[in-house]
Amino acid sequence: MSTTVKLEQKVQAKGHEIAAELRAMFQKKGIYVVNLIGSPGSGKTTLLEGLASRIKGRAAVIEGDLATDEDKKRIEAAGMRAYQINTVGSCHLDAAMIRDALKEFSIEGIDLLFIENVGNLVCPASFEIGEDIKVAVVSVTEGDDKPAKYPKAMKVSSAFVVTKVDLLPYLKCDVARMKRDVQAAMPGIACFTTSATTGEGLDAFLAWIDARAKERSAESV
Amino acid sequence: MSTTVKLEQKVQAKGHEIAAELRAMFQKKGIYVVNLIGSPGSGKTTLLEGLASRIKGRAAVIEGDLATDEDKKRIEAAGMRAYQINTVGSCHLDAAMIRDALKEFSIEGIDLLFIENVGNLVCPASFEIGEDIKVAVVSVTEGDDKPAKYPKAMKVSSAFVVTKVDLLPYLKCDVARMKRDVQAAMPGIACFTTSATTGEGLDAFLAWIDARAKERSAESV
């Protein structure tokens, strides 16, 4: 094994350790944590805007971007508390960034925390940041071949959310194929077909998250 | 400086060396090389399909994906020679992958080579793979905030191609804002507004590439 690989493993092990500490802390506080991963423009922020009217008061959002605080502002405009992490060069959020964010961002009084990762369907799949679950977000405008072409992101996710289905009349995109490929990569994964514009699928996705959170509480008793 | 950083720099230096060798080889053969970078589903392959009728016979394509050879098949169906690299875990192409691909894939008789990088608007921006230029590809369906949010990809690119503009009537996307943000990140960058569906902008983009290739030939005399 090369020295580079050994050092990378050491860095990753440290990340796992911080992620485990965060997970224990979130669980103790009764906060369920969802790590949203998807391409730039897959509709992660818009999905959260769509959910906002249903969850504001009980949820908060940590936003990850290379640059700008536009997503934080959008979430706040939708009525939820938000914190912006700028990774500058980094292609994914890591556990230490979340730990540092929580020194400034209060999560008291909530039971649901969304962490929107950097727009990238590859790298965020390899990092734990203290979440209970990862959710992969793919838009119909990206094309129906994406689950097959980015299998790692599907394999690490507990749910697969197809976004922007209101645009289907104008596109060639076979949602059934997407779901088949997702299920092949990750058998049993929950699939949701959504549009933040029409509201389609948002209640079902939220009900599923809440059921998972309830399961976790039951397990921890 | 940590040992990790030193080792990373050593790996990157080796990559630069291979990239420089490839660049010299391409130049000697009179082949102009374009490295296409963009998010998953930004329309890189569709852009090449749109260009195919104009460049087949003189161009070839190297496709980079984590998995599948779907893009290679699409390019071949459009009448161009293509080679598929599967990076498996890696979030970007590197120079050694291109060198290895060229052991199997002949580039004799062409004067234009497109290398379609892994779908990722972050990591491929940091790697040289022997190309003359990088071109950033962003679709209108990703949203008009993407150039501001992914400035590194803009800074390393010589051209910015907006794709899928035929879908503008169904979206909220301000293309003028995209161009302003791109120009702010990379003053003087060439901008093209395209649709592979209607053919809009494809001739202008190709004419611009050919003019760059001609400039390079003139410089190397």
Give the ipTM.
0.93
Task: Give exposure, A154-172, as e/b (b: 16+ Cβ within 10 Å).
Answer: bebbbbbbbbbbbbbebbe
Q: What is the mean pLDDT of chain B?
A: 95
Q: What are B151's two structure tokens?
A: 């400035």
Residue A5's pLDDT is what?
Answer: 63
Flag if B167 and A11 touch (Cβ within 8 Å): no
pTM to 2 decimals? 0.95
Among B117, B66, B72, residue whose Cα is nearest residue A150: B66
Closest partner CB to A145 (pick from B70, B142, B170): B70
3-state SS record for chain B: CCHHHHHHHHHHHHHHHHHHHHHHHHHHHCCEEEEEEECCCCCHHHHHHHHHHHHCCCEEEEEEECCCCHHHHHHHHCCCEEEEEECCCCCCCCHHHHHHHHHHCCCCCCCEEEEECCCCCCHHHHCCCCCCEEEEEEEHHHCCCHHHHCHHHHHCCCEEEEECHHHHHHCCCCHHHHHHHHHHHCCCCEEEECCCCCCCCHHHHHHHHHHHHHHHHHHHC
Residue A31's pLDDT is what?
Answer: 98
Flag if B119 and A39 touch (Cβ within 8 Å): yes
Residue A219's pLDDT is what?
Answer: 85
| CB-based contact B7:B127 (threshold 8 Å) | no
Q: What are A48's two structure tokens?
A: 């959260």
Whether the CB of A197 is below 8 Å from some CB of chain B: the reply is no
Burial classification of residue A24, based on how many CB atoms lie within 10 Å of its CB (0-12 exposed, 13-18 middle, 19 or more buried): exposed
| CB-based contact A28:A129 (threshold 8 Å) | no
Percent of chain A with pLDDT over 70: 96
- pLDDT by residue (tens digit) across B79-133? 999 999 999 989 999 999 999 999 999 999 999 999 999 999 999 999 999 999 9
DSSP 8-state assignment for residue B81: E
Closest partner CB to B65 (pick from A65, A142, A149): A149
Question: Chain B residue closest to A149 (CA)?
Answer: B67
From chain A, pick out residues whose CB is under 8 angstroms from the CB of B70. Answer: 145, 148-149
Q: How many CA atoms lie within 13 A of B199 on its CB side?
A: 4
From chain B, pick out residues whose CB is under 8 angstroms from the CB of A146. Answer: 40-41
Whether the CB of B175 is below 8 Å from some CB of chain A: the reply is no
Residues 6+ apart with CB under 8 A from A214: none
Flag if B123 and A123 touch (Cβ within 8 Å): yes
- pLDDT by residue (tens digit) across B9-55? 777 888 999 999 999 999 999 999 999 999 999 999 999 999 999 99
The C-alpha atoms of residue A115 and residue A126 are separated, in whole angstroms, by: 15
Q: What is the mean pLDDT of chain A?
A: 95
Round to the nearest angstrom and report the end-to-end CA distance of chain A: 42
Q: Cα–Cα–Cα angle for B60, B65, B71, nearest 5°?
A: 50
From chain A, pick out residues whose CB is under 8 angstroms from the CB of B139. Answer: 41, 141
Whether the CB of B36 is below 8 Å from some CB of chain A: the reply is no
From chain A, pick out residues whose CB is under 8 angstroms from the CB of B149. Answer: 40, 65-68, 70, 119
- pLDDT by residue (tens digit) across A28-82? 999 999 999 999 999 999 999 999 999 999 999 999 999 999 999 999 999 999 9
Does pLDDT of A107 surpass 70?
yes
Residue B4's pLDDT is what?
Answer: 57
Does pLDDT of A23 surpass 90?
yes
Does pLDDT of A3 surpass 80?
no
- pLDDT by residue (tens digit) across A156-183? 999 999 999 999 999 999 999 999 999 9
Residue A13's pLDDT is what?
Answer: 84
Residue B12's pLDDT is what?
Answer: 80
The C-alpha atoms of residue A221 and residue A146 are separated, in whole angstroms, by: 39
Flag if B67 and A149 touch (Cβ within 8 Å): yes
Whether the CB of A198 is below 8 Å from some CB of chain B: the reply is no
Distances (CA, A) of B169 to A155, B174, B175: 35, 11, 12
Percent of chain B with pLDDT over 90: 90
Residues 6+ apart with CB under 8 A from A183: A189, A191
Beta-carbon contacts below 8 Å between A and B: 118
Closest partner CB to B40 (pick from A150, A151, A164): A150
Whether the CB of B145 is below 8 Å from some CB of chain A: the reply is yes
| CB-based contact B58:B113 (threshold 8 Å) | no
Flag if A68 and B121 touch (Cβ within 8 Å): no
> What does the pLDDT average to over A78-92?
96
The C-alpha atoms of residue A174 and residue B51 are separated, in whole angstroms, by: 25
Does pLDDT of B1 surpass 60?
no
Does pLDDT of A11 surpass 80?
no
Residue A68's pLDDT is what?
Answer: 97
Q: How confident is the model at residue A220 (pLDDT cuts 50, 70, 90)?
A: confident
> What does the pLDDT average to over B140-164?
98
